[in-house]
Structure 1
Amino acid sequence: MRAILFLVLIAAFHAHAVAQPSKSRAAAIAQNYPAIPESIQRRPVTIWSDGTRMAGDLYLPADMAPEAKLPAIVFIAGTGGTKKGTPARMASVFVQNGYAFLAFDYRGWGESDSKLQMLEDMPEPNENGDVTVKARAISWQMDFADQVEDIRNAIAFVSGSPNVDNERIGVLGTSYGGGLATWIAANDSRVRCAAVQVPGMGGGRGPAAERRGLNLQTKQARGEIEPVPYETGAPRGKMSSYAHMRYNTAKSIGYDVIKAAEKITIPMLIIDAENEELIDRTKNGEWVAGILESNGTPVKYHVLKGIQHYGVYKKKFDEAASMEVEWFNQFLKSAQ
């Protein structure tokens, strides 16, 4: 693919995404939202994550009292997911059941700005710290380290909302985002309840995968290969439909959801698909459910019958969403 370059004046944290492999930012902006009832309001919000602007949508009841404090759900997207897709559909379900709901695009995904990779030596900054550089937008990266930071900042944003009870924040993750949500459930004390559906948790990666990540990091650090995947790193095989995405396994070193699950103490719902074709659920959701159960952590593991991975967004959407609302009602909404 041809590198798309641009000149940018950047001061401290002003980094705007303008280019993405095979899938433009303009296409994400042009995507339509699903219709929502008049009883629900959607507020576009800006979330800062390590100096980069993320685009978000905060959903609230339209007739909410100014002093109201609602429990909040932060949605964590899966591979290639954006705030206008699955979370925009889920938002109505949750808001109608008395929740605030936050959806956002990771840095470099959807409508969010990207980090920048300079493609030439940096000139001396002027008196304001500004430099003019030739740079590339770092977009559509499968980057565990950055996305954990993005999720933490989304939680921080919603916890500061005047209409959110920051003692009642939950996370809801799907697919790739289900693994991220599980890691966050283990490591962020602000999260009081979690639910994940068809989660990819990286079960079974093992030492060989760790070595590959370390070897990749060595080559990136030494400039022997692309420092950030652009021409390389596209998903293949069962995930080839996400050709605009880029894996950077060097950024997943030390990211072990299965080990993280040992630390989870908050209630967690795990929903899997009976005919899951993308992952081995016995080494992902089912495995984590067993860990939580053995540790005495409140957990429910449910398998949706008769569907494959993507059936949770279609045929079984209502069933899954209903179970998730019920779970959060029990363990988050009623929490004091």
Structure 2
Amino acid sequence: MARLPSPDDLLILLTVARLGRFNAVAESLGTTHTTISRRILALDRQLGGRTLERSPHGWELTELGASAVAAAEAIEETLGSLAGTIGQERDALSGMVRISTSDGFGAEFVAPALVRLQQRHPLLNIEMLSATRKVSRNRSGVDLEVVVGGTDVSNAQTIFLTNYYLRLYASPAYAARHGLPETPDGVGQHGFVSYVESALQVAELGHRSSQLPAPKSSFQATSIFAQVEAVRRGAGIGLLPNFMVARDSGFVPVLPHDFERQLPIWAVARPESMRSARVQAVIAALKEEVAARQDLLAA
């Protein structure tokens, strides 16, 4: 009878699926890159195929790897239930829930919602991963994804959360020094702050898809927080989420009647994740948060 794969190796694969890079996994588990690589190779030999393949964004699961991670998640769930039983701690919600979300919306809306949920359920553990990207093909390693823009999935459930606006902003000092454009064509005479196009997975967030003219100069960053700070300090005109800057006196609207882009935000989960009380509670908390702050999203 064939020997079953090591549960420890399966859990290591699960951590790789969540973090994407061996170095990050080694740091998380208190071991070395070489050890992680050796354990994954041992698991591949035991399963008879590759569980991971390289991508520009780190390691991605193969079809075999996705099946192995599903088994690892079941092991982790069982161990979590056992820990709760041993500790004789009772709570309506306990264990771990993992959410992937874009960083701006995650900080402004997801984090406050999850903090309140955890305060109501102290045995609930949360991991929030920041990633501005399309819906993952396999969605392994996370229970719920919060994504911006279109969703094209056939094997997952999508839940609409809210819309928000991308608008053009500059700092008052930049406006005083350089003036502001009076038409969209005039944006080309200014510096422009936006995402790094070569690393951007959600095209709607970038300058290239905005149909605005090529800028005089550009400041591109993968972090929306870096973009906000660059605009604040006068790097140029930025394409920014309204909920992050609309009520901040450090920003002035640019072409407020001539340019804006409305984008949806969705929660996406696999059918098996939707059966989890923890995931259902997270979705309810997110809906509660956006409903209570629609005035900011519509500002």
Q: TM-score, normalised by structure 1?
A: 0.28
Query: Greater RCO between the two (CA within 8 Å, min separation 6)?
Result: 2
Q: TM-score, normalised by structure 2?
A: 0.30
